[in-house]
Structure 1
Amino acid sequence: MVHVIAIITAKPGQREAVLEIFDANVPAVLAEDGCIAYEATIDTENAGPMQTEFGPDTFVVVEKWDSMAALGAHAASAHMAAYSARTKDMLAGRAIHILSPT
Structure 2
Amino acid sequence: MSRPVRLHILITTLPGRGREQVDAHERLAPVVRAEQGCLQYDLHRVAGDPDRFVLVELWASRDALAAHDATAHMIAADAASPAFRAGPAQVIEIEAEPVA
TM-score, normalised on structure 1? 0.83
3-state SS, counterpart of residue 24 of structure 1: helix
How far has the Cα of 1:100 moved from its partner? 2.4
Partners in 1 of 2:68 and 2:26 — Cα distance?
16
Unaligned runs of 5+ in 2: none
What is the total number of aligned residue pairs between the two structures?
93
Residue in 2 that maps onto 1:50: none
Residue in 2 that maps onto 1:24: 27
Runs of 4+ displaced beyond 4 Å? none
Percent identity between the two aligned chains: 34
Residue in 2 that maps onto 1:6: 9
Unaligned runs of 5+ in 1: 46-54
Do the aligned residues in 2 keep the contact of 1:5 with 1:60 (CA within 8 Å)? yes
**Matching of residues 31-46 of structure 1 within 5 Å:** 31-44=34-47
Residue in 2 that maps onto 1:82: 76
Residue in 1 that maps onto 2:53: 59
Task: Please report the RMSD computed on the Cα atoms of aligned residues, expressed in angstroms.
Answer: 1.4
Larger RCO (CA within 8 A; separation ≥ 6): 1
Residue in 2 that maps onto 1:98: 93
Partners in 1 of 2:35 and 2:93 — Cα distance?
18
